[in-house]
Amino acid sequence: MNPRLAHFLVRLYPRGWRERYGEEFEELLASRRGKPQDPVNVVLSALRERVIAGFGRPADLSAVSFGAIVRLPGAFVPMAMSLSALAIVFAHIAFYGIAPQADEGAAAHLWQLLMTLQLPILVIFAVRWLPKAPRQTLGVIALQAAAFCASLAPVFFLKL
């Protein structure tokens, strides 16, 4: 595998995992003849390690920073979904204006999916992290709520 791709793939793992296994794992990836399915396997495994790291209670909760919480998938994925939904709204306005369309269309369905699917992620994140680091988690939830409202506002006020 290309050493740069190997390095990039190792960076997908949580920091603690990288510190322990990063060097040898990168060596394994770089020394192997590239199999097309390997990068997919590594990406899925990195996601799994991140989920496992998210489940684990940090040893020192006072050391958990806002930055560390906001980098958790449960924190940034809903925000990314809201912002993507907002981008869809702006793109729709740019192409079709603010006049209501007879047919909802793909953009509307995509917007609805993005806004709906983030809710369970948000709930799981809140349930998992509020008891562990309430202040930082509330900050992240406020950001998620702001992103959610920002995406909802043009649809609501412009009656799209």
Partner 1 sequence: MRSTRHVVRAGDAPENGHYSDPPLLVLASLAEGPKHGHAMIEDIERLCGSRLGPGTLYGAIARLEEQGWVQPLPPEDRRRPYRITPAGLDVLRAKLTTLQHFARAGLKRLEVL
Q: Footprint of partner 1 on this chain (CB under 8 A)?
A: 17, 20-21, 23-29, 31-32, 35, 37-38, 41-46, 48-49
Task: Indicate the residue among 3 and 131 with the shorter CB distance to partner 1.
Answer: 3
- At 19 the three-state DSSP class reads helix
Tell the smallest beta-carbon distance from residue 98 to partner 1 (Å): 46
How many Å is the Cα radius of gyration of the chain? 20
Q: How far is the CB of 16 from partner 1 (least distance, A)?
A: 10
In angstroms, the CA 78 to CA 80 distance is 5
What is the smallest separation between the CB atom of 20 and partner 1, expressed in angstroms? 8
Encoded tokens for 92? 């729709």
Shorter beta-carbon distance to partner 1: residue 8 or 49:
49
User: What does DSSP assign to residue 37?
Assistant: T
CB-nearer residue toward partner 1: 17 or 148: 17
Which is nearer to partner 1, 20 or 109 (by Cβ)? 20
Q: For residue 97, give both structure tokens.
A: 């204006």
| Cα 142 to the center of its chain, rounded Å | 16
Beta-strand ranges (E) seen in 11-61 are none
CB of 64 to partner 1, least distance (A): 21
